[in-house]
Amino acid sequence: MVLTVPAPTGVRYRLLETLRQFAADRLAEQTDAAEVQDRNGAYWCGRAVTLGRATGGSDQHAVLDAIDVDIDNYRSAFAHLLSTGRVNDAARGVQALDTYFLIRRTREGLRWHQRLLGHTDLDPTRRLGALAEAARAEALVGDVYRAEGYATEAVEFAEAAGVDVPWGAFEALMQVARDRQDPASYRRWWERGHQVVMANGQPYLQLLAEAQLGLVPGSWDDDEAIEHHERLESEIHRHGDPLLVFLFANCFSMVLYFAGHTDRARAVAQSAVGPGRRAGPIAHASALSNTAGFEALTGDTDLARALLAEAVRIARDEGLTSMALHVMFIAAALTASDADPNAAATPSPVCLNK
């Protein structure tokens, strides 16, 4: 009746679904059912806060694994709190897991924040956080217009309240500027966000910001950007978090490419694939597509297609619109280079199967 399930944090137990539903039905008949659910919600929100505080360290990957094991419990707790009108209690738990949702389950995190924003009684501080995280998630999945809307509202909200704008809003606006190839806007938002995170003294956010300098061509002098990343590299690797290592390598490869150092950029891009795989689906797909672009430039088209096929699968499974478009653009360019313009113009993964 009780099944054992191996997990990274040890053996876990779960009931057969029929027994679980039977137990839930019996609980619903009890006079203290609401009290039991309230205690369950409080426990898992507290657990979320504890694990949320542990993110940002060198063991972040293990912390995210621990959250993954109990994700259904967190979902149940947050849903119960929202259904009983305790929106700020639910927000406390959801926002404690912001890093987890952003890295591992971006669209789900976006949905939770959108639900929070639908409540007029959400505390101002919680609302600001929800706006910033919704902006960042929208930017990652590919809706830059909605990302810009959420982020702009977050900036205006924070400025009116006289508080710091959350890093997530700056990061979303940087992504919007990147998509529009607007180096002046990218640098402006990076500098504003960097100033905030440096003043707040959060080492992880500081490294996250530092790693993203120069991601749009023309936003910094090439030599200045390269020197910045060369100084940063040892600190990033000392920290050791897979997301930071991936992000640094992905960004540095682009900085090198903009400066004309294609071979070195290719090697740095390749070093992002392993950490990207460990960091989560968005990081993995991004590392694969970036590396595929360099392989396409240097002539290994078979490897480029294999990398792109894996990246487009992840993009499809995770609903990453902008990533899918980016992958198919590279695939189409590869096919066009093979003098097959009809296949290149086909809006399907056919060009990955050459």
Domain limits, the chain: 36-122, 141-210, 254-354
Q: Which residue bears the tokens 């002539």?
A: 299
Q: Residue 9's pLDDT is what?
A: 66
pLDDT at 27: 61
DSSP 8-state secondary structure symbol assigned to residue 3: E
Structure tokens at 152: 């702009």
DSSP lists the bridge partners of residue 6 as: 11
Residue 112 in contact with residue 131, Cβ under 8 Å? no
Q: What is the pLDDT of residue 81?
A: 94
Q: Report d(CA 273, CA 345) in Å as an integer.
A: 28
Nearest residue to 321 (alpha-carbon basis) of 175, 157, 165, 151: 175
- Per the structure block, which two tokens stand in for 349? 């993964």
Whether 284 contacts 302, CB under 8 Å? no
List per-block mean pLDDT (blocks of 10 residues) for the chain, which spans 354 residues. 73 74 67 76 94 87 90 94 95 96 93 97 97 96 93 98 96 95 96 95 92 95 97 95 94 96 96 93 94 87 91 89 84 69 48 50
- Which stretches of the chain are DSSP H helices? 17-29, 33-53, 60-69, 71-83, 87-96, 98-104, 106-117, 124-141, 144-161, 167-179, 183-200, 203-210, 222-239, 242-258, 262-270, 273-279, 281-298, 301-318, 321-337, 341-344
Residue 33 has a pLDDT of: 64
User: How far is Cα 279 from Cα 281, in angstroms, rounded to an integer?
Assistant: 7
| Residue whose structure tokens are 């991936």 | 246
- Alpha carbons 159 and 218: distance in angstroms, whole number: 29
Q: What is the pTM of this model?
A: 0.86
Res 344: pLDDT: 44
